């Protein structure tokens, strides 16, 4: 196994652990996780969570510190998440009366995840 493969596997494991921690943090705040690692033709959404009439499409970022995590959500990723969210919502008539929002969960070692509500607006 090459060094690149080992690093990639470690990154995937870190990402999965961060998503699990973020999902638990959302549950503790009263959200119900509807989907994890949702993929469709538009792209991938790390977490989709609902609380009442609100559906949050959540990008989870794990980095060495929270500032680096916050800076790592690129405009390209935001567009990918927006497209995937649009397709997800179109296939779920039960969510027709819900409000939609784009959030971020920032994860750093030794810290509780930071939930950034309404991290960006749909263009």
**Average confidence score pLDDT of the chain:** 91
pTM: predicted TM-score of the whole model, two decimal places: 0.90
| CA-only gyration radius of the chain, Å | 15
Q: What is the pLDDT of residue 38?
A: 96
CATH of the domain at 97: 3.40.1350.10
Section 4-10 average pLDDT: 85
The tens digit of pLDDT for each residue in 33-55 reads 999 999 999 999 999 999 999 99
- DSSP letters of 46-77? EEEEEETTEEEEEEEEE-SSHHHHHHT--HHH
Q: Could you give the number of structural domains in the chain?
A: 1
Q: What is the pLDDT of residue 123?
A: 59
Section 91-109 average pLDDT: 94
The domain containing residue 72 runs over which residues? 3-120
């Amino acid at each position: 196994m090459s060094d690149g493969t080992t690093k990639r596997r470690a990154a995937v494991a870190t990402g999965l652990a961060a998503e699990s921690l973020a999902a638990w943090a959302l549950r503790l705040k009263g959200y119900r996780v509807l989907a994890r690692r949702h993929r469709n033709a538009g792209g991938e959404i790390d977490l989709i969570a609902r609380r009442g009439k609100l559906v949050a499409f959540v990008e989870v970022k794990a980095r060495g510190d929270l500032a680096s995590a916050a800076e790592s959500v690129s405009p390209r990723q935001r567009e990918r998440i927006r497209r995937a969210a649009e397709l997800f919502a179109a296939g779920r008539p039960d969510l027709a009366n819900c409000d939609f929002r784009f959030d971020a969960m920032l994860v750093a070692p030794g810290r509780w995840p930071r939930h950034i509500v309404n991290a960006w607006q749909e263009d």
